Chains A and B, each alone.
Chain A
Amino acid sequence: MRQFLTFFLLCGLVFSCSKDETALSEPQGRISIDFRHFAGTDSLLIGKVYYPNAAGNEYRVSYLKYFISGLCLYKNGRKIWQTKTPPISINAKYQDCLQAAFEQVPVGSYDSLSFAFGIVPEYNYHGGFEISNDDYDMYWPINLGGGYHFMKFEGHWRDGDEFGTFAFHVGAKENLIIHGFKLPLDVQEAQSTNIIMTMNTHEWFENPYLFDLSKENGYTMGNQGQMNNLVLNGQHVFKAKLQDF
């Protein structure tokens, strides 16, 4: 038996040095959100296809990147848990940039969730959290308040013989959008609860504000009026559902 004890102790030594795992005081699971992007009912193809919008223009998306942060879980209208994970960037172009994973979620049943589209105030200042080289373009100018862009949604439009560009950039604390969804979540120990979050890019151009790119400028940086229109439209861009297996 002593040989087995030695073996298992050595196992412990070998594997304990490989990871620094926090001792868990309560059973915990994981929530993973997969972001998917559609233009109406079509899967969004970045840079390739022109899609019709509500104003009758056609738009083509060249870049769609945004942050989400501050995931909260609720039960019976009471907030039970809030993530401490820093903001996560989602880039619609890359398959490996479409998932937001949240660890150490207390096991239990929840009936709804919310998250911020953008960056919650505790992180939204210059250097508020570490960003990768891939996200370096998301800094928000210091002389406009600092922090980070919440979203860069850029592309081209055409309408008959006319054509042009749009650059829907949103940032600054007054433009944070909080999304909430009724969704029964059963977080189980050491298991991942997977949610599919679908963005319909058509919504950025309508409901309630009709964005006619042929009549107004689609460059929103430094234009709080236009950013406010995007915030209004942005309330409706996501739909959430649990992933079926």
Chain B
Amino acid sequence: MRLFQTSQKTLPASIVVSILLVMLLSMALSCQKESNQTTRLKPYIIELPNSFPRLEIPDDNQPYMERIALGRKLYYDSTLSNDGRACASCHIQAQGFTKSSQNVMPVLHHANLAWKNLYMWDGSQSGSLEELMYFEVTEFFNTNLSKFNSHPEYPALFKEAYNSSTITGEDLAKALAQFVRTLISANSKYDQVMSGQATFTELEAKGHAIFTGERGSCYHCHIPPLFTDNRVHNIGLDSTYEIPANQGYFHSTGDSSHLGHMRTANLRNIGLRSSFMHDGRFNDLKQVLEHYSNGVKQSPSLDPVMIKSNGSAKLHFTTEEIEALEAFLKTLTDSTFISNPELSQA
């Protein structure tokens, strides 16, 4: 019996079948490559906090203990940079994995970043955590990969975690994303109240009602439980936008309707911060709340949700309402998150 007869030659059926079998087996084996490599690794289940949305994790970077440990080591290692800085130099655990000092731009808050898809104040980075970390490695830090490939420990660690013979920027990004994905803040007093383990004080409860009701309408952008909406908004900090640092998302789109649009801040652990907004112009929560109360400025790119049903962008809070909101916002401080030794430098 002959198969695949050509004008020149014919191949015996047994050879053809053998070739096909080899091809099929190699196809089957190639799709098992990632799973064979990871069978030696210890799987890690990221527990989804109550009422958090689905966690989206790329198929090729599923969580394993070894990968998370490697990401954690990298996070605290200044080898990543060329100037002595590590991720943790600016993302300080005790401050909720951010850094804020008065009148200085607050650093991106590394808490619950796994549920975001838009990063940086001006929303200039988007995509998965792996893509964000790739930006950090290749552009922000401009990491010298040869330092990792000649390092006494990293080549073996990457070989174990990712089966990498040569450490690439993509490998570093994947490992960092593994650790950052575990930076979950979901055990604040607010969370405990929501799960029935604690109760708000009278003032906190009043603040919660203002925050989640139309009086404050804060929830429109700071949607619990993530306290962000993964969008950009112009909250009326300025009426004109000549200063490039204030132009926000306009930098990404070139669309004048995006002037002054900044990524919605995640409010978790906000009570630990000492500067607010994209340029750190406010130095305490009262100043932030005063802005929403009386300071919102009109402009053609003011976000539509800023004008409330009474036609005004100013909420005119009473002193007591500001105190209540401040008390509520401080219930978002998660003391276990900022002291969890599993998230600290090993």
Contact = CB atoms under 8 A, between A and B. Distances in A.
Interface in B242-262: 253, 255, 257-258
B297 to A, nearest CB: 13
Nearest 10 pairs between A and B by C-beta? A165-B304, A137-B229, A154-B304, A222-B214, A167-B304, A47-B257, A3-B17, A130-B54, A14-B28, A219-B309
A167 B307 contact: yes
Contacts of B257: 47-48, 60, 62, 156
A4 to B, nearest CB: 7
A24 interface: no
B21 A165 contact: no
Contact of A47 (B31, B255, B308): B255
A136 interface: yes
Interface residues of B, number: 46
A71 B214 CA distance: 33
A139 B223 contact: yes
B125 interface: no
Contact of B231 (A60, A126, A137, A141): A137
Contacts of B306: 165
B309 A165 contact: no
Q: Identify the interface centre among B212, B257, B311: most chain A CB within 10 Å of its CB.
A: B257
B36 interface: no
20 contacts: A3-B17, A7-B20, A10-B21, A10-B25, A14-B24, A47-B258, A60-B257, A63-B304, A127-B51, A133-B53, A136-B229, A137-B223, A154-B305, A155-B304, A156-B304, A167-B305, A219-B304, A220-B309, A222-B214, A226-B309
Interface of B: 13-14, 17, 20-21, 24-25, 27-28, 31, 51, 53-54, 56, 115-117, 209, 212-214, 217, 219-221, 223, 226, 229-231, 253, 255, 257-258, 300-311
A164 B214 contact: no
Contacts of B255: 47-48
A22 interface: no
B39 to A, nearest CB: 16
Contact of A219 (B115, B226, B307): B307
A142 to B, nearest CB: 7
Contacts of A166: 304
Size band of the interface chain A makes with B: 35 or more
A217 B300 contact: no
A11 B53 CA distance: 39
A1 to B, nearest CB: 9
A181 interface: no
B53 A14 contact: no
Contact of B24 (A10, A17, A154): A10
A76 interface: no
A10 B301 CA distance: 62
A144 B10 CA distance: 75
Contacts of A3: 13-14, 17
A6 B214 CA distance: 68
A145 B294 CA distance: 29
A9 B305 CA distance: 60
A142 B208 CA distance: 12
A136 B28 contact: no
Interface in A130-176: 130-134, 136-137, 139, 141-143, 154-156, 163-167
A221 interface: yes
Contact of A137 (B24, B54, B230): B230
Contact of B226 (A17, A136, A165): A136
Contacts of B53: 130-133, 136
Contact of B217 (A18, A131, A221): A221
A4 B304 contact: no
B115 A136 contact: yes
B56 A219 contact: no
A95 interface: no
Nearest to A14: B28
A132 to B, nearest CB: 7
Contacts of B301: 156
Contact of A141 (B115, B212, B229): B212
B308 A142 contact: no
Contacts of B214: 221-222
Contacts of B115: 133, 136
Contacts of A62: 257, 304
Contacts of A63: 304
Contact of B17 (A4, A13, A126): A4
A220 B220 CA distance: 12
Contacts of B253: 47
B303 A165 contact: yes
Contact of A7 (B17, B209, B217): B17
Contacts of B304: 62-63, 154-156, 165-167, 218-219
Contacts of A47: 253, 255, 257-258
Nearest to A166: B304
A41 interface: no
Given A47-B257, A133-B53, A165 B302 contact: yes
Nearest to B116: A133
A123 to B, nearest CB: 15
Given A47-B255, A156-B304, A165-B302, A143 B56 contact: no
Given A156-B300, A167-B307, A226-B309, 4 more contacts: A131-B53, A133-B53, A164-B307, A217-B310
